[in-house]
Amino acid sequence: MTSTISILGTGGTIASTDETGGAKPSKNSEALVEAVPQLADYVDLDVREIAQRPSFDMDIPTLEELRQAIEEAVEDGSDGIVVTHGTDTMEESAYYLDLTLDVGAPVVFTGAQRRPDEVSPDGPANLVTAVRVLTDDQIRNSGGVYIAFDDELHAARDVTKRHTRKLNAFNSPEKGPVAVTTRDAIRWYREPGSYSVTLDGTGEPSDIDVRMIKSGVGVGGDQIEDALDAGVDGIVVEGTGLGNTTAAVGNAIEQAVSAGIPVVVTSRCYAGSTAPVYGTGGGGQTLSNYGAIHGDDLPAQKARLKLRLVLQHVDEASQVRPYFSSYETE
- Residues annotated as catalytic are 13, 87
3-state secondary structure 178-234: CEEECCCCEEECCCCCCCCCCCCCCCCCCCCCEEEEECCCCCCCHHHHHHHHCCCCE
Q: Which residues contact 274 (CB under 8 A, 6 or more apart)?
A: 239, 242, 243, 265, 266, 267, 284, 294, 295, 296, 297
DSSP state at residue 42: T
For 240, which DSSP code?
B
User: Using the 8-state DSSP alphabet, how is residue 89 labeled?
Assistant: T
Position 169, amino acid: A
Residue 56 is given by DSSP the state G
Kind plus residue range of the DSSP H or E element containing 117: none
